[in-house]
């Protein structure tokens, strides 16, 4: 039996954190402690299990026992009354408008993931460009677009990754679209559709796993989802749009990006391209790094040759141009 010191006061304690929901009672102290540690779980309950999958909600529970073999219902009534009092208090300060806004935003939010792109271990420099992108994508009103253009290997993709990571909380969803060619772009849309459906099974989207659904239908379905008038806080990154279809170009491998862009005048679009001809929105030229030390640091990281800063490169004063190694 664990001896627990008596509490010195009678006031209820409010805990904020994750509640684990399950379909059976938690009575094992070891499992309890393991889950608490690995999943950062505060407590366990059974009633709300399943509800969260269908309805975004806040669960308020009164705690009356320790989730181990010393289960004791003696304090159940007190715990229930405390939770009810807390819920009432909370509703008196949260407005209905806030709740409606939260529920709407929730139904379009998709967890952050950069699994589509390989990210450098240590991002250096480019603070000015990051601020420029942020400024342009923060303007109010209509669709916000930025085109990052510059030589291959200069660092456009990594800049877009750094932007997405830094500002992830500004967006309800961020999707990475490989725009190298039309097929990759369509496959990226299919992955986006899967991710949306995983988190929102009731979203009106064709399933990418259904063989009879064409990739074009999936692209259009995702575009419709992004066009929804209440779904306004997404960011789409069209990465490596290096082969744009331009007036006068005949190449059949060229990508016409417009039919892959959502139509509604909301959301944000970030395009990276080697071409200086993409004029879909304000452009930011990504150039050579001003400071040779930054270039050398990247070179050190990518070559795996430790710290080149003290070595020959610096003493020789070589102007290192950043190219893919």
Q: Are 308 and 296 in contact (CB under 8 A)?
A: yes
| 298 binds ligand ADP, rule: CB under 6 A | yes
Nearer to ligand ADP, 61 or 156 (CB): 156
Residue 152 is a binding residue for ligand ADP (CB under 6 A): yes
Q: What angle do CA 289, 295, 296 make, to 5 degrees?
A: 160
231 contacts which partner out of ligand ADP, Mg ion, none, CB within 5 to 8 A by kind?
none
Tokens 């806030």 belong to residue? 98
Q: In this chain, which of 41, 43, 109, 123 binds ligand ADP, going by CB under 6 A? A: 123
> Taking the complex as a whole, how short is the minimal distance between the CB of residue 324 and Mg ion, in angstroms?
9
CA dist 151 → 137, 169, 238 (Å): 23, 30, 16
Query: Is residue 125 involved in binding ligand ADP (CB under 6 A)?
Result: yes
Q: What's the first-to-final CA gap in the chain, in angstroms? A: 63
Binder of residue 123, out of Mg ion, ligand ADP, none (CB less than 5 to 8 A by kind): ligand ADP
Cα 162 from Cα 164, distance rounded (Å)? 6
Task: Determine, following the binding rule CB under 6 A, whether residue 272 of this chain makes contact with ligand ADP.
Answer: yes
Nearer to ligand ADP, 35 or 124 (CB): 124
- When computed from its CA atoms, the radius of gyration of the chain, rounded to whole angstroms, is 26
Helical pair 127-137 and 156-166, crossing angle rounded to 10 deg = 60
Phi and psi at 264, nearest 5°, equal -60, 150
Q: Which long-range contacts (CB under 8 A, 24 or more apart) does 304-312 make?
A: none
CB-wise, 144 or 149, nearer to ligand ADP?
A: 149
Shortest Cβ distance from residue 255 to ligand ADP (Å)?
16
Residues lying near Mg ion in the complex (CB under 5 A)? 157, 240
Nearer residue to Mg ion within complex by CB, 12 or 281: 281
> According to CB under 6 A, which one of 67, 136, 145, 158 is a site residue for ligand ADP?
158
With CB under 6 A as the contact rule, the residue among 254, 302, 308, 313 that binds ligand ADP is 302
As measured in angstroms, the least distance from the Cβ of 161 to Mg ion is 10
Q: How far is the CB of 253 from ligand ADP (least distance, A)?
A: 18
Binds ligand ADP (CB under 6 A): choice among 35, 63, 110, 124 = 124
Q: For ligand ADP, which stretch binds (CB under 6 A), given 10-18, 58-66, 146-154, 207-215?
A: 146-154
Give the C-alpha distances (Å, rounded to integers) separating 90 from 15, 168, 280.
14, 28, 46
Host H or E run for residue 270: strand 268-273
| Cross-strand bridge partners of residue 144 | 268
Q: How far apart are CA 209 and CA 197, in angstroms?
A: 11
Give the interface with ligand ADP as residue ranges (CB under 6 A): 120, 123-126, 150, 152-158, 272, 298, 302, 324
């Amino acid at each position: 039996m664990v001896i627990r010191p008596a509490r010195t006061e009678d006031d209820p304690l409010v805990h904020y954190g994750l509640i684990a929901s399950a379909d059976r009672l938690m009575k094992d102290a070891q499992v309890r402690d393991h889950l608490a540690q690995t999943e950062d779980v505060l407590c366990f309950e059974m009633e709300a299990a399943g509800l969260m999958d269908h309805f975004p909600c806040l669960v308020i529970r009164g705690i009356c026992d320790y989730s181990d073999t010393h289960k004791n219902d003696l304090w159940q009534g007190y715990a229930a009354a405390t939770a009810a009092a807390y819920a009432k208090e909370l509703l008196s300060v949260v407005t209905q408008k806030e709740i409606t806004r939260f529920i709407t935003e929730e139904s379009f939010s998709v967890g952050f993931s950069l699994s589509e792109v390989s990210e450098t271990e240590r991002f250096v420099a480019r603070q000015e460009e990051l601020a420029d992108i942020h400024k342009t994508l923060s303007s109010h009103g209509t669709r916000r677009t930025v085109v990052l253009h510059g030589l291959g290997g200069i660092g456009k993709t990594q800049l877009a990754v750094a932007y997405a990571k830094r500002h992830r909380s500004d967006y309800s969803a961020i999707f990475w679209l490989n725009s190298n060619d039309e097929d990759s772009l369509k496959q990226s849309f299919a992955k986006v559709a899967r991710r949306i459906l995983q988190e929102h099974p009731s979203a009106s989207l064709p399933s990418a796993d259904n063989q009879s659904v064409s990739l074009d239908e999936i692209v259009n379905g995702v575009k419709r989802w992004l066009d929804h008038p209440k779904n306004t806080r997404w960011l789409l990154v069209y990465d490596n749009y290096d082969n744009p279809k331009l007036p006068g170009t005949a190449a059949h491998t060229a990508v016409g990006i417009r039919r892959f862009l959502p139509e509604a005048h909301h959301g944000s679009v970030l395009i990276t391209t080697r071409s200086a001809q993409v004029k879909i929105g304000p452009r930011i030229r990504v150039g050579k790094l001003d400071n040779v030390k930054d270039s050398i640091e990247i070179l050190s990281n990518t070559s795996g040759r430790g710290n080149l800063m003290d070595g020959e490169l610096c003493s020789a004063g070589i102007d290192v141009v950043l190219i893919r190694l």
